[in-house]
A = this chain, B = another copy of it.
Amino acid sequence: MSHEIKGINEECGVFGVWNHKDASQMTYYGLHSLQHRGQEGAGIVSLENNRLHGHRGLGLLHEVFANPDLLTQLKGHSAIGHVRYGTSGEGDIINIQPFLFRFYNAEIALAHNGNLINAKTLRKELEEDGAIFHSNSDTEILMHLIRRSNKDTFIDKLSEALNIVKGGFAYLLLTDDAMYATLDPNAFRPLSIGRMSNGAYVVTSETCALDTIGATFVRDVEPGEIIEISDNGLKSYRYTDETMYSICSMEYIYFARPDSNIKGINVHSARKRMGKTLAKEHPVEADMVIGVPNSSLSAASGYAEASSIPYEMGLVKNQYVARTFIQPTQELREEGVRLKLSAVRGVVEGKRVILVDDSIVRGTTSKRIVRLLKEAGATEVHVRISSPPLAYPCFYGIDIQTKEELIAANYSTDKIREIIEADSLEFLTEEGLINSIGLKLDAPYNGLCMAYFNGDYPTPLYDYEYRENKED
């Protein structure tokens, strides 16, 4: 399902390049491939002769750089960039990254994908000690910790700081002589290294950006690792050895682009296997299988293939819906005005439909789609979800932070079926999901984070501990 429709979102994508004569251009194209990870704002910082130059703005990448001069002015052979996911009401440019810090003796840029779980505590402590924060974002915390560190080298300062922050994070930093990429001890978020034919190193949240710019995949950043890329090449450091893989399973299910590989596994193929497994776990007699465009099409085609039921285009997504589009009033919506998604009457009329979706959050979208299909003449709508029920919030970088908004945290599958007005409803099992993804790391759940499904959080929850206790 498209990110605008579904109520879950991830927090950002990062991209960096070292030693390419068109560094900021490359970063622009790289971020372009990561745009699905964040549409609130974007920014790029480049390095030219020990000076950092930056531009950032609200909106999509092409809006932020609508004036091509803005990109041309970001001169230099290295650059990092960021696309930010937007929560409502926080649309302030001050939160758009990369952050660019200018000190009397140094300049540093910082970009962040993830969420810290001890941010509130750290911020309070730092402010009590005189620190001044300028954004609402967690990201600044790392810089304060670095600047207050008494260690001698930058790597040591950074390592010290990374041992203080907790949660999910993939950081990119750019200084006047190196680019740094680092990942939390659980590797919640993806972060990969690539290389271009001219020798330039690239770091990106998803591998799809490597294909866009013609780079070759080198390897993934490891949990607890700091990668330093400089004119001396790539060096690896470890800020901690207490690591354990807990890769966000929602990246495979929903967030990542189907052409990305995460830890060696192609996302489209993983989704198609989820669909196949789902067909085996929960078969049903019907005339056709349809997927919710675009994120569930892979799973739907897998379901169709495994069940030998025809795969059809029963829903069409309008490609021209923009943020500035004038939305129908509630009254017009009730009269039937639908802009984003249409059911294809000529396909579904008089048919029994299997509707494959990747997840159910609040249930409102599912209900809307089931209705769409029935109004278009579908005689039965069997909903099949290619992931287990979402019943627990995430604190590592996905924007679902309370149980209240999760329908599966509050209702049984049968009750949800009733609410969304489906003829049947089934979810993929946890085991089915883990096997379909096919990750085989030596860690619980083969290296996946399954916390949204079973509440088994791979770390202590720090600032969120109390909240969870209160809510339970």
A328 x B29 contact (CB < 8 A): yes
Contacts A35-B320, A212-B338, A316-B259 given; does A268 touch B344 at CB 8 Å: yes
Contacts A60-B322, A324-B63, A335-B214 given; does A258 touch B316 at CB 8 Å: yes
Query: How does the 8 Å CB contact mask read for A83-102 relative to B, with 1 for contact and 0 for none?
Result: 00000000001100000011
Tell which of B71, B197, B294 touches A335, judged by Cβ atoms closer than 8 Å: B197
B36 x A319 contact (CB < 8 A): yes
Residues of chain A from 23 to 48 with CB closer than 8 A to chain B in the complex: 25-26, 28-29, 32-33, 35-36
Which residues of chain B have C-beta atoms less than 8 A from A28's C-beta?
A: 326
The distance in angstroms between the C-alpha atoms of A120 and B26, with both chains bound, is: 36
Tell which of B26, B132, B304, B345 touches A131, judged by Cβ atoms closer than 8 Å: B132
Tell which of B215, B272, B313, B321 touches A298, judged by Cβ atoms closer than 8 Å: B313
Tell which of B22, B320, B332 touches A60, judged by Cβ atoms closer than 8 Å: B320
Residues of chain A from 302 to 357 with CB closer than 8 A to chain B in the complex: 304-305, 310-313, 316, 318-322, 324-326, 328, 332, 335-339, 342-347
A35 x B294 contact (CB < 8 A): no
- 22 A-B contact pairs sorted by A residue (CB < 8 Å): A25-B332, A32-B325, A32-B339, A35-B318, A36-B320, A62-B325, A63-B324, A102-B136, A103-B127, A103-B132, A104-B124, A132-B140, A213-B336, A258-B344, A259-B344, A260-B346, A266-B345, A266-B346, A266-B347, A268-B313, A268-B344, A301-B311
In the A-B complex, the 8 residue pairs with the closest CB atoms: A214-B336, A266-B346, A259-B344, A130-B148, A134-B134, A35-B320, A62-B325, A259-B316
